Structure formats: structure tokens, C-alpha cells
Amino acid sequence: MSLRGRMIAFAGGDGVSISAYHVEPEGPRRGGLVLIQEIFGVTDHIRELCDGFAADGFEVIAPSLYDREHPDFRADYTPEDIDRAKKLATAHPVDTSLADIARCVALLRRKGPVYVTGYCYGGSMSWLAACRIEGIAAASAYYGRLIPEHADERPLCPVILHFGERDASIPLQGVEKVKAAHPSVPVYIYPAGHGFNSDRRTDYDAGCAALARARTLELFAANA
């Protein structure tokens, strides 16, 4: 797949320059979208997801959240790279990621509504962004491991959540905790494992990925 976007630099939440993948919308602009990376960085997979949303009319920014610790970090799904990515994600401050996401939201809001979506690490950050950052129109969070740990936080915008019922890293009891704390938040559970949206992973499920994406687009359209 030929990527349509380009890397840009912008001032993060603390003023430090970091990079982001940016792609302009095709056709009429439907809004801005901050797409938040997996623990593996702004990989080709993440850039392809950005291009896909741009084809649906969104201007998309995917910030490279680990640039301060490891510029242009991009890992694979090998055991060694997974270990490197986990260590980097654990060491990286959540508040720093949220400040960078807030900066992206502010940049895109100049042109209209802004949405947020993210996967894995980005799913957790999408939930926290929806709870802590003003000005987000809606958020769609995929299999964020930290979401059950932050089930007591209250979203400031409409949110939907996606989990895999066979996700060993997010026990269903944690998902049930989120559902109980937020009965008005749609929580979708798919017959799949962790990372079912990524066609690079063994847990990829095309049907579940397509359904979750359709629900995400419906959410965004309902909050235009």
C-alpha cells in the first residue's frame, strides 16, 4: 500500500518538538481525527489506518508519542520488539501522552469537530483523552488495557469501547467493571483476541475489524 500522508513536526504539550503522521482528507472534510498508536509506535500499520480514515473524509494526525525517549520508534511483533515496546510504554508518562494528544486536538479544532481513536496503548489513551481533554466530539477506544484501571473516570464526550473476549491481557471481569461503571457507554465485545484490528497480528479478525470500524464511523457521524 502506498502511503498518502507525510511526517510533520509540531510542538507537543511541553513545547518539545515531536513528529506526527499527517494526512489530508479525500473529498469533503468530515472532521479531524487524532489516531493514537499501539505500543509499537507510528508504524506502517498505523499510517495505513490513518490513510483509511482520510479516504473517509477525515484530516488525521497520529502523534509519535515516544519521540522524547526514542525518536521515530517503530517496532515489529517479534517477542524482542514486543518487550522493547512494553518497556517504553511503561516508562513513558501518561500525562505527557495526553498533553500531546490535547495539542493535536487543538490544532484540528480550528477547522471543525475533532474525534479520537486508538488501539492497544492508544485505546487506553483514547479513553483517558475522552475523560480529561475538553473539545473532543467523540472517541472510539480499542482494547485499552488501562481502561478498567480508570473505570472511575467520567467521559466528557460520547465514547464507544471495543474489546476481544479472548484477550488474555484484558480479563472480561475488567470489561464488566467498565460496563457496570458506565451503563450508558456502548461496550462491544468481539469473538477475537487482543489486536484483532491489526492485519499484522495473529489475532487479526477481518470481520470484527470491519464491524468495529463501521461502529466507529457511525459514532463520528452521529456527533458531527
Across the chain, which has 224 residues, the per-10-residue mean pLDDT values are 88 94 96 97 97 98 96 92 92 96 97 98 98 98 98 98 97 97 98 96 96 98 97
Nearest to 47 by CA among 80, 86, 7, 81: 7
- pTM of the predicted model as reported, rounded to 2 decimal places: 0.97
| Structural domain boundaries in the chain | 6-222
Say what the pLDDT of residue 122 is.
Answer: 98
- pLDDT for 205 equals 98
In this prediction, residue 77 carries a pLDDT of 85
Q: CATH homologous superfamily of domain 6-222?
A: Alpha/Beta hydrolase fold, catalytic domain (3.40.50.1820)
Q: Give residue 1's pLDDT.
A: 56
